[in-house]
Amino acid sequence: MATVKATYTGNLRTEATHLQSGTKLITDAPVDNQGKGEFFSPTDLVATSLGSCMITIMGIAAKTHGFNIDGASWTVTKIMADNPRRIGEIIVELTFPPNEYTDQQKRVIEHISRNCPVALSLHPDVKQTVRIDYL
């Protein structure tokens, strides 16, 4: 069964609908590639997916192992490469709220940052840089 149904609406824009929830998502080509940059670009979504996947799996692990990461945040920086145009690097900077994380909990977090499903799905040529800050 399909997960998403999408339409090209013209002017380098798409509209996708998540079939289970009905949530809609619009993408635009970025300004540096003939677009308006008014919405996420497809490559922005790839970078965002990496950070979202990491934190989601970390949340599952925290729940399973009895610790809390509520309030954790992240930023992603996407660096494009040329010839061919593609994502060259994604930098994910994770910030965890004040908590007394044990060494074991930090190892779980750090392991997940390298092994979440999106991280493992990206082509090996896409450099993944992860920085973790425990406040």
Amino acid 37: pLDDT: 94
Q: What is the band of 119 on the pLDDT scale with cuts at 50, 70, 90?
A: very high
Segment 33-65, tens digit of pLDDT:
999 999 999 999 999 999 999 999 999 999 999
Segment 6-31, tens digit of pLDDT:
999 999 999 999 999 999 999 999 99
Amino acid 105: pLDDT: 97
Segment 73-94, tens digit of pLDDT:
999 999 999 999 999 999 999 9
Amino acid 25: pLDDT: 97
- Every domain of the chain and the residues it spans: 4-33, 42-134
Q: How many CB atoms lie within 10 A of CB 94?
A: 22
Q: Topology of 42-134 in CATH?
A: GMP Synthetase; Chain A, domain 3 (3.30.300)
Amino acid 42: pLDDT: 97
